[in-house]
Amino acid sequence: MNNWEKFKFIDLFAGIGGIRIPFDELGGKCVFTSEWDLDCQEMYKANFGHKPQGDITLIDPMDIPDHDFLCAGFPCQAFSIIGQMKGFQDTRGTLFFNIAEILKVKKPYAFLLENVKQLRSHDNGKTFAVIEKTLKDLGYFTHTKVLNALDFGLPQKRERTIIVGFKENLPFEFPKPIGIKPKLKDFLDPEAADDNSLKASDYIIKRRIKKLKDKPFYPSMWHENKSGNISVLSHSVALRAGASHNYLLVNGTRRLSSRELLRFQGYPEDFKIVLKHSAIRKQAGNSVPVPMIRAVANEILKTLRKNKVELRNKNSSKMHKDNELSL
């Protein structure tokens, strides 16, 4: 029995690969990737060696390779506060049903889905109830929890809904907080302080200082909310894809660099940056916190191995090797 030392997975709505990284580390082989954004495709190819296929709505599930595990950070804008919470009325919200169709046709043993915290409460819970029922009708037992990136070593308060599903009713526990408070200074680049392209205007800096209610400390992240109130924090609030440059400022004076943005999401230092800063800002704002996904992935694999779940294809090791060659 392979015991999930090697397994095949697919990476849907892949972004720049934040979910893929931990599954690669755990012995998985990605046999299919889908991501429609051209900039994300370019970053993904630079870091993983192959370009994702495009719009998942144009891909026949039968054309997707067999796999043991499905990963999907499906579009969250339809369920987020910033995205006006239109849910299934928004075409991005209906993309969940493309995932459901792939699960129905390909029947992987397990999956991990990721979305915004508000997914569970959207439309008084009706949206999430539809998602849960759909997955149950497909024969999956699901486990859901909201996790925070702050609890997994990142200086960013980013709460995400994580859904884990299995074909059997396995006992599963989500990872617990690591109990270590990240230090902001460990994620900041001293050289970025001298980068004039990142500096806020004198007007913005003076306006921030004028609106301060508490005595600032350094280093710190200065956050301006929708009401214009300024908070001085030892961590960042959630990075956003479409937010103003000035939503978050380091020490009230500058914006985060491309490398710092990726660090705040837990990407490794050798993760290649091949696009301009504006593209990285969007990608980091849409990304998952890698260490949080890594912690969940570890618990999933631990559960599968502890319960001696067999890979559905007994020739998985051979096919794993064949797929390496095909990619």
Query: Considering the entire predicted model, what is its pTM?
Result: 0.90
Is the per-residue pLDDT at 93 higher than 80? Answer: no
Domain match, 175 and 209 both: no
Within a domain: 197: yes
Domain match, 125 and 64 both: yes
Within a domain: 185: no
Domain match, 140 and 224 both: no
Within a domain: 265: no
- Is-catalytic flag, 76? yes
Within a domain: 129: yes
Within a domain: 221: yes
Q: Among 208-212, 312-316, 317-321, whose mean pLDDT is lowest?
A: 317-321
Is the per-residue pLDDT at 78 higher than 70? Answer: no
Domain match, 214 and 315 both: no
The kind and range of the H/E element at 31 are strand 28-34
Compute the distance between CA of residue 48 and CA of residue 280 in angstroms, rounded to an integer.
17
The kind and range of the H/E element at 207 are helix 202-211
Measured from the Cβ of residue 121, the count of other Cβ atoms closer than 10 Å reads 14
**Per-residue pLDDT at 120:** 85
**Per-residue pLDDT at 245:** 74
Give the pLDDT mean for 231-257.
91
Domain match, 87 and 18 both: yes
Is the per-residue pLDDT at 108 higher than 80? Answer: yes
Domain match, 211 and 120 both: no
Do β-strands 7-12 and 69-72 pair in parallel, antiparallel, or remain unpaired? parallel
Domain match, 98 and 239 both: no
Domain match, 147 and 197 both: no
Cβ atoms of 94 and 136 within 8 Å: the answer is no
Q: Of the residues 235, 256, 277, which one is the last residue of a structural domain?
A: 256
Q: Of the residues 240, 256, 272, which one is the last residue of a structural domain?
A: 256
The kind and range of the H/E element at 248 are strand 248-250
**Per-residue pLDDT at 2:** 62
Q: Which of 30, 40, 71, 76 is catalytic?
A: 76
First and final CA of the chain: distance in angstroms? 25
> What's the whole-number average pLDDT of the chain?
89
**Per-residue pLDDT at 316:** 44
pLDDT in tens, 155-164: 999 999 999 9
Is the four-CA dihedral 303, 304, 308, 309 of positive or negative sign?
positive
pLDDT in tens, 174-183: 999 999 999 9
Is the per-residue pLDDT at 314 higher than 80? Answer: no
Domain match, 230 and 88 both: no
**Per-residue pLDDT at 246:** 80
Between 75 and 251, the more confident residue is: 251
Domain match, 22 and 163 both: yes
Within a domain: 276: no
Domain match, 203 and 236 both: yes
Confidence of residue 214 (pLDDT cuts 50, 70, 90): confident
Percent of the chain whose pLDDT exceeds 70: 88
Within a domain: 274: no
pLDDT in tens, 114-159: 998 988 886 788 888 889 999 999 999 999 999 999 999 999 999 9
**Per-residue pLDDT at 76:** 52
**Per-residue pLDDT at 190:** 94
Confidence of residue 103 (pLDDT cuts 50, 70, 90): very high
Is the per-residue pLDDT at 325 higher than 50? Answer: no
Domain count for the chain: 2
Domain match, 101 and 163 both: yes
Is the per-residue pLDDT at 89 higher than 60? Answer: no
Within a domain: 97: yes
Is the per-residue pLDDT at 79 higher than 80? Answer: no
**Per-residue pLDDT at 87:** 40
Is the four-CA dihedral 312, 317, 318, 322 of positive or negative sign?
positive
What is the domain extent for residue 68? 7-179+285-326
Is the per-residue pLDDT at 82 higher than 90? Answer: no
Q: Of the residues 256, 271, 306, which one is the last residue of a structural domain?
A: 256
| CATH number assigned to the domain comprising residue 94 | 3.40.50.150
**Per-residue pLDDT at 95:** 85
